[in-house]
Amino acid sequence: MAERKSALKRAPERPELQALLEKAKGVVLTDDQLREQRASFVYGNAPKGSRITKESALKAVNSLRVVQV
């Protein structure tokens, strides 16, 4: 069996990535942007060969209500 590299090492420093993550923490999405992201997620995770289109995903997302408990 081939030896595996240790996964216990710390990740290398990535200052550009860290700066982008900090910037993203302050972003507030509008309802339209959130709906668009949900539709993109649905479409992107649809099985190959399914009849789901971008339009049908957006229609489904617009008909859902998310309620906070």
- The CA-based angle 49-64-43, given to 5 degrees, is 25
Report residue 62's pLDDT band, with 50, 70 and 90 as the boundaries: confident
- Nearest Cα to Cα of residue 41 among 57, 55, 52, 56: 57
* Residue 39 near residue 54 (C-beta atoms within 8 A): yes
- Residue the block writes with tokens 């996964």: 7
Q: How confident is the model at residue 27 (pLDDT cuts 50, 70, 90)?
A: very high
Percent of the chain with pLDDT over 90: 64
What is the domain partition of the chain in residue ranges?
29-69
Residue with tokens 């995903």: 57
| Residues 35, 8: Cα–Cα separation, whole Å | 38
Confidence tier at 6 by pLDDT (50, 70, 90): low
